[in-house]
Amino acid sequence: MPSSPVRTAQKPWPALPLKEWKDTYDTLHMWMQIVGKVRMELSAPQNHWWHVPFYVTARGLTTSSIPCEDGIFDMEFDFVEHNLVLRKSDGALRKLELKPRAVADFLPEFMAMLHSAGIECTIWEKPVEVPDPIPFPKDRVHASYVPEQAHRFWQVLVALEPVFQQFRSRWLGKSSPVHFFWGSFDLAHTRFSGEKAPPRPGADTMTQEAYSHEESSVGWWPGGGAVDGPAFYAYTVPEPAGLKDARVKPEKASYHPELKEFVLMYDDVRTSDSPADTLLDFLQSTYEAGANLGGWDRKALERE
């Protein structure tokens, strides 16, 4: 059946140069890890770490519901009024202002907010998936927060989320939600063939669980390391022979030999004639390349 039109932001997708908001990004990354660790600690484990991510909302990013001793609660990074909002099923409401402050100060203020709502939780006080991690109680390096920059970051997610959802709607097999991982700081979506993947020798527990089955994963992140700006990525696990030489769309997309995944710069998408269509071309063509070379049963897994 024909796909319905992509309902996404009609205004131009916002620019988000990495160098301009790097300080805010790094601080927000650490704050989100602290909040995310509470979600992870109190939530029932799910396959592929699906109990960990956040979700895009009309105001920011939410944990979704988390169980506690006397009900449930959720927490939301509100990038409209710039608060971290805690809502609890007993009616409790707490807010922590998002403003410039060191991670070492954010941590006790956040924990005090939890305690005031009757929520107790102990987390591992060290960030993950970042180079040279500084324990949260000692981190006075990351202390920046420019509201306009955080708002623009969220607006990028607002533009992208409906496109990823449209791509997800084409799938009949097992797939992840469209979710935001606070560890790697990326909006992601994953499809699964239904087959187990070969074990990854030497991989840690997190990696073994994440890649336990054959998958095709796509996403967006603000950039860093080998990529100097926001970009989309796509990869297949296990990577089939010949994938790096596959032709994908659009022409500006390419296989990154260091990352071992296809990469398309966000600016090349947002400045195209139709950003949503350009992104869908990237998502679809990279998936097809991996699925075809990997021998996936596409007829059984895809909508017509």
Residue 260: per-residue pLDDT: 96
Q: What letter does residue 167 receive in the DSSP assignment?
A: H
Residue 283: per-residue pLDDT: 98
Give the span between the Cα atoms of 183 and 276, in whole angstroms.
Answer: 26
Question: In this structure, are 172 and 116 located in the same domain?
Answer: no
Q: Which residues contact 231 (CB under 8 A, 6 or more apart)?
A: 220, 221, 223, 263, 264, 265, 266
* CA-based max dimension of the chain: 56
CB-based contact 48:211 (threshold 8 Å): no
Residue 202: per-residue pLDDT: 86
Give the span between the Cα atoms of 228 and 19, in whole angstroms.
Answer: 8
Residue 2: per-residue pLDDT: 45
Note if the bond before 238 is cis, omega within 30 degrees.
yes
Give the span between the Cα atoms of 94 and 207, in whole angstroms.
Answer: 35
Q: Which of 138, 158, 173 marks a domain boundary?
A: 138
Residue type, 229: G
Question: In this structure, are 278 and 155 located in the same domain?
Answer: yes
Among residues 118, 127, 25, the alpha carbon closest in space to that of 68 is found at: 118
Q: Which of 138, 173, 189 marks a domain boundary?
A: 138
Would you say the pTM of this structure is higher than 0.75?
A: yes
DSSP SS3 for 263: strand
CB-based contact 254:229 (threshold 8 Å): no
Give the span between the Cα atoms of 243 and 285, in whole angstroms.
Answer: 12
Residue 1: per-residue pLDDT: 40
Question: In this structure, are 116 and 186 located in the same domain?
Answer: no
Question: In this structure, are 22 and 59 located in the same domain?
Answer: yes
Question: Structural domain of residue 212, as residue ranges?
Answer: 147-301
Residue 11: per-residue pLDDT: 82
How many domains are contained in the chain? 2
Residue 9: per-residue pLDDT: 53
Q: Which of 90, 109, 138 marks a domain boundary?
A: 138
In a domain, 242, yes or no: yes
How, if at all, do strands 55-56 and 60-62 pair? antiparallel
Residue 227, phi then psi, degrees to nearest 5: -125, 120
- The parts of the chain modelled with pLDDT lower than 50 are 1-2
- Written as six digits, the tokens of 112 are 């005090």
Residue 264: per-residue pLDDT: 98
Give the span between the Cα atoms of 301 and 304, in whole angstroms.
Answer: 10
